[in-house]
Structure 1
Amino acid sequence: MNIIVVGCGKVGLTLADQLNKEGHDITIVDQDEKVLRHAVDFLDIMGIHGNGAMLQTLREAGVQNADVLIAATSRDEVNMLCCLFAKKEGNCRTIARIRDPQYTTEISYLRDELNLAMVINPDMAAAKEIERLLRFPSAMKVDSFSRGKLDLIRVKVPKESQLIGIPLHTFQKDTGLNVLITLIQRGEDILIPNGFDALEADDLMSFIAAPKDVSKFFIKLGVDYTPVRDCIIVGGGRISYYIARYIDEMHLNMRLKIIDSNKERCEYLADVLPDSIIINGDGIDAELLKKEGIENTDAFCSLTGFDEENIMLSLYAGKLSDARLITKINRIAFENVTNEMNLGSVIYPKQIVAESILRYVRALENSKGSNVETLYKLADGKAEALEFKVLNDPDLINIPFADLSFKQGVLICGIIRQNKIITPRGSDVMKVGDRVIVVTTNTGFNDLRDILEVKKEEDIHYEL
């Protein structure tokens, strides 16, 4: 597909990188020639120097023949104007990055009036993920499917867990819970487990379960599951604002403290977030943090605009307390290094946005229509979790899983059928309208049919 990305910032560069790796023809547009040159050299893609909100620049980028245009500059109004011009000139599908909370209540109107295919808000998406992590305080990452009906949860296996060494096929019997282990990351190795595999200490394990079973499984696993009652956030930006809003909307019994050094920002937050405690002060002041209860807090979120500061704050909080740690990282890409640090759950807002757009682009590629409902990158991008909607495909529906031939590295994790959650067994089948959750180390699936092993010519026998 021909895709134009306007804006070479963190989000734009990440999107161009991910989409380029998936084999699309990418053109990136930016007014900063130095930044643009870096993107072109680093990604080996086409670059256009100019203002993406100008018709001449879009024409030079090839908007007439583009399939998708993504406007991801730092200015919401520029992004909306860019999408408007692109839609009029090229009639391509348009995606706009809109961050300002003032537009939150008008997103539906803007989407309809500008005929946008999608509106992305990295801050809101990151806040939603953090809110889920605060609800599941023992998890390192929580990915939700089918609007929260099913959760894929990542957790580290404790050294003294009683479930270590037990074959996975006996898990349901041993725990009495409907839980399925979907992925095990053991050092550099990524494993889609079978029934004879077993957990080892310090494994990074992903499991899928209904929300009602999650806390019970944590207890069986030996992971502490104490609800978060007090949370300290350093950094009063948009993400913190959205977190407070989500906590209020979910009616969570949680006391929230937000620390920020900008007095005007604190005054604004105090006005719009009356249920939160807003503190004007330096978030890296050790004495202030101790005074505000860092040693006893249940959760600590480092959400400043500086990666290095967030890393140091989380390391400090982890040294002083047993708090649930959440660390926001925007630029630093050394995941193999940060994974070794005690940073708790690391949030990459740009990656969250990239996943949602990749899902949309893959759905466009599918000749049968939109099939990919949800997509998450797992294990540093080495695996994926996808949600598909089952269409009327005779090669898939009403055939027992035991009779289907799946590719290596594919696991069917769950079926959602009329709000009922099914943990699939060999005798289960897919039906039209089902939502099917797949975890795979084969990245790049666009269609549910991609999970099937394609028969070789010599394997096909013809009747004479």
Structure 2
Amino acid sequence: MRIVVVGAGAVGGYIAERLSLEGQDVVVIDIDPRRAAEVRERLDALVITGNGASAATLEQAGIGQAGLLLAVTASDGANILACHTARKMGVQRNIARVQDPDLRDGLDGIDVDVVIDPVEAAAEEIAALVVESGLSELIEFGEGQLSLVGGTVTAGSPLVGVPLMDIPRNESFSWLAIAAVRNGSTIVAHGDTTVLEGDHLLLMVKSRNVDRAKSLIGIHDRDIRRVLIIGTTRVARLTTDLLVKAGMEVVVIDPDDARCAAVAEEIPSALVIAADPTDPRVFGELDTNLHDAVVALTGVDSMNLIPCLVAKAMGAATTISRVTRMSYVDLLAGIGVDTTVSTRLTAAASILRFVRRGNIYSVATFSDTDAEVIELEAVPGAQAVGNSLQELTLPYGIVVGGMVRGDIAFVPSGATTIEERDHLIIFAVPDAMPAVESMFSA
């Protein structure tokens, strides 16, 4: 399928790169010659310098033969116009990045199929991770009934050093180890897999058992009473607003007086301090302690790293940092940043379900592995329907972690038989994704 990506910035460039590596027919359009040249150098894709809302440019990109247009520039208006023009020229489906809520509400009747806002999605993810501090992932599936829980395994985990098949099970707590990331490599979990301290482990559980999953990983509950937000970017403001509404005490720190004044007016329940967040004295004056979470959300990776390290050294319970360069993820984890978040990944998760074949309801992506978790429906006539999981002999790289049948969500076993219209939550490495699509699509 030809996919045209309008906008080669942080979000568009990342999505284009990911789709190109999968072998998709990708065309990238950007009005900035410098950005276009950068993408042209690193991608095996057609890159066009031009206005993505222009009919002439879209014609050059072959929009009439495209199955999908992704308009993800920083301009809401340009994205909406690109979708409108592309629809008139025959594109099958389009997705627009729109950040202004007023514009999103007024898109009824305009030729935009799907609207995404990666920043808003990232803020929701960050707020959830603050509430469940210590986790690197907390992703809901099955309308909130099942949760994918991710975290770094500690020495206190009962899983360390024991093959998964030998771990005692409790009937009141069903769980399934999905995968572990160790030294940059993804290990798909099987019965003979042994978890090690320091692994990034992914578990599937019922959502009511998230706390028990944290205990399995070796993460102890932290009594977070205050959140220190570094920066006044849009994602910082949205996260602050969500946490304030959740009843948490929030302090915003930014060196710019004008930006601080604007946030103080916008969110009066938050304490806003104009100060240098890289200065240890700021955290000392705030008496940073084990009841604090520090969330660094500036637009510069280095400006996020330093406050996290300073706060951690002064006793903060947990640190969360926004990253723009994915190559920094492993570095940050190795020097004390507990969790990283990226608007690129949230955008990719929003978009990939429209690229995958079949009835896909949601997609989750990760910072340290290119595997995905997808929620799909087993459609009538699919190869998998009527077979148990053990009869399917799933290829390596695929794990069915959860199922929803009607109103009932559960963690399946090998004996579980797949029925029509079941929703399945499936972990898959990239090479295994075609097998997933063929087995569960008609």
Structure 1 length-normalised TM: 0.88
Identity %: 26
Q: Is 1:277 matched up with 2:277?
A: no
What is the alpha-carbon distance in structure 2 between the residues aligned to residue 405 and residue 372 of structure 1? 22
Q: Which residue of 1 aligns with 2:339?
A: 345
Q: Which residue of 1 aligns with 2:232?
A: 236
Q: Flag the 1:226–1:52 CA change in 2: closer, same or farther, 3 A.
A: same
Q: Which residue of 1 aligns with 2:174?
A: 178
Q: Flag the 1:8–1:163 CA change in 2: closer, same or farther, 3 A.
A: closer
Aligned with 2:405 (options 412, 417, 420): 417
What is the alpha-carbon distance in structure 2 between the residues aligned to residue 403 and residue 89 of structure 1? 46
What is the alpha-carbon distance in structure 1 between the residues aligned to residue 251 and residue 197 of structure 2? 35
Aligned with 1:104 (options 81, 86, 101): 101
Deviation at 1:108? 4.2
What is the alpha-carbon distance in structure 1 between the residues aligned to residue 10 and residue 57 of structure 2? 21
Q: Which residue of 1 aligns with 2:303?
A: 309
Deviation at 1:444? 5.8
Q: Which residue of 1 aligns with 2:208?
A: 212
- Alpha-carbon RMSD: 2.3
Q: Which residue of 2 aligns with 1:129?
A: 125
Structure 2 length-normalised TM: 0.92
Partner SS, residue 333 of structure 1 = helix
| Aligned residue runs from structure 1 range 66-215, under 5 A | 66-99=66-99, 103-110=100-107, 112-171=108-167, 173=169, 177-215=173-211
Equivalent pair of 1:318/1:325 in contact (CA under 8 Å): yes
What is the alpha-carbon distance in structure 2 between the residues aligned to residue 227 and residue 81 of structure 1? 47
What is the alpha-carbon distance in structure 1 between the residues aligned to residue 29 and residue 49 of structure 2? 6
Deviation at 1:304? 0.8
Partner SS, residue 264 of structure 1 = helix
What is the alpha-carbon distance in structure 2 between the residues aligned to residue 85 and residue 375 of structure 1? 28
What is the alpha-carbon distance in structure 2 between the residues aligned to residue 325 and residue 267 of structure 1? 25
Equivalent pair of 1:155/1:205 in contact (CA under 8 Å): yes
Where does structure 1 lack aligned partners over 5 or more consecutive residues?
Answer: 453-464
Q: Flag the 1:197–1:35 CA change in 2: closer, same or farther, 3 A.
A: closer
Q: Which residue of 1 aligns with 2:26?
A: 26
Q: Which residue of 2 aligns with 1:459?
A: none
Deviation at 1:92? 3.6
Equivalent pair of 2:289/2:315 in contact (CA under 8 Å): yes
Q: Which residue of 2 aligns with 1:63?
A: 63
Where does structure 2 lack aligned partners over 5 or more consecutive residues?
Answer: none
Q: Which residue of 2 aligns with 1:299?
A: 293
Q: Which residue of 2 aligns with 1:289?
A: 283
| Aligned residue runs from structure 1 range 314-393, under 5 A | 314-331=308-325, 333-362=327-356, 366=357, 370-378=358-366, 380-393=368-381
Aligned with 2:418 (options 426, 430, 435): 430
What is the alpha-carbon distance in structure 2 between the residues aligned to residue 221 and residue 381 of structure 1? 19
- Report the residue type matching 2:302 in the other structure: E
Deviation at 1:220? 4.9
- Report the residue type matching 2:363 in the other structure: L
What is the alpha-carbon distance in structure 2 between the residues aligned to residue 285 and residue 297 of structure 1? 20
Q: Flag the 1:303–1:334 CA change in 2: closer, same or farther, 3 A.
A: closer
What is the alpha-carbon distance in structure 2 between the residues aligned to residue 20 and residue 400 of structure 1? 34
Deviation at 1:14? 0.7
